[in-house]
Amino acid sequence: MNVFKKEMKANIKSLIIWCCAQVFIIFAGMMKYQGFSDSQVDVNALFAAFPEEIMVVFGLGSVDITKVAGFYSVFFLYFMLLAAVHAVMFGAVEVSKEERDHCADFIYTKPVRRFQVIWPKLLAGVVNILIFNMVTFAASVFFIAQHNDGDGLIDKVSLTMLALFILQLFFLALGALFGSLLKNTKQATATASGLVMGFFILSVVVDLYDKLAFLKVFTPFKYFEGASLMINDQLSFSSAAILLIVSLIFFGLTFLAFNRRDLTT
């Protein structure tokens, strides 16, 4: 419990900053929706004139963005990116930071096993990503309601947030695994953020070239689609199951790898 409390305290500032940024993005994004719906321009016709590549990169695939649910579904891509970076960094830093700050000697010479230090740290991670998720949820419902005659689309947003949380868990586990396997925090965060970037690029490539659609399974960003969550109210069960199982495996490997680690000063 002492480790959990300390780690929550240590991360509170950065969590507040992440949450503020997220609230601002949702606020600003929904302001744009206001702009669209006020301007009376046929936005769908306008966007149809854009090259497909551009639309794909910005996540404007095939949804009707003149409807608030359709417009909001485009956010999902940005949420995934932000949440992925937040979670993967958290995992990578949290597991390896004692060695970075040269205080591994302090905590790992206490009468505790290594997993007794690592698991409260990961629990703090889960609580952090959950708070980030809840703030995203609350801000979404609030700002959607403002542009949708008071209806915040709670059901649809809840489903979207559930998908987001599963992805956050996956990235937290991935980050933690890098933190326990790689030599130091710097390598872990660099590799982790590089991989997030790679996943994103792959998700764009898959959208652009139908022939490469089979590569979908290799990028978590393609496991859930904003449109099917927000419009069809569907969350892919198999995607959720795969991501959760892989996350569990990664968490397990993190414990194993960290246990075998030679800690440096």
Partner 1 sequence: MNVIEINQLTKYYGKHRGIENVSFSVEEGEIFGFIGPNGAGKSTTIRALLSLIHPTSGSATIFGKDCIKYGSEIRRDIGYLPSEVFYYEHMKVREVLNYSASFYDNVDTSRIQSLAEVMDLDLNKRIDDLSYGNKKKVGIIQGLLHEPKLIILDEPTGGLDPLMQQKFFELIRTENQNGATVLFSSHILSEVQKLCGRVAIIKDGTIVRVENIRDMQKHNYKKFTLDYRGVIDVHHFNLEGVTNLTVDESTLHFLFKGDINRMVERLQGQNLMNMLVEEPSLEEIFMHYYQKEDQP
Minimum distance from residue 85 beta carbon to partner 1 (Å): 23
Minimum distance from residue 124 beta carbon to partner 1 (Å): 14
Q: Which is nearer to partner 1, 6 or 67 (CB)?
A: 6
Q: Which residues of 70-105 are buried (b: 16+ CB within 10 A; e: fewer)?
A: bbbbbbbbbbbbbbbbbbbbbbbbbbbbbbbeeebe
Minimum distance from residue 15 beta carbon to partner 1 (Å): 15
Minimum distance from residue 207 beta carbon to partner 1 (Å): 44
Q: Which is nearer to partner 1, 96 or 239 (CB)?
A: 96
Contact residues toward partner 1 (CB under 8 A) are 2, 6, 10, 101-106, 108-113, 116, 260, 262-263, 265
Joined tokens for residue 124: 């703090």
CA 133 – CA 193 distance, rounded (Å): 20
CA 227 – CA 86 distance, rounded (Å): 23
Other beta carbons less than 10 A from residue 41's beta carbon: 12
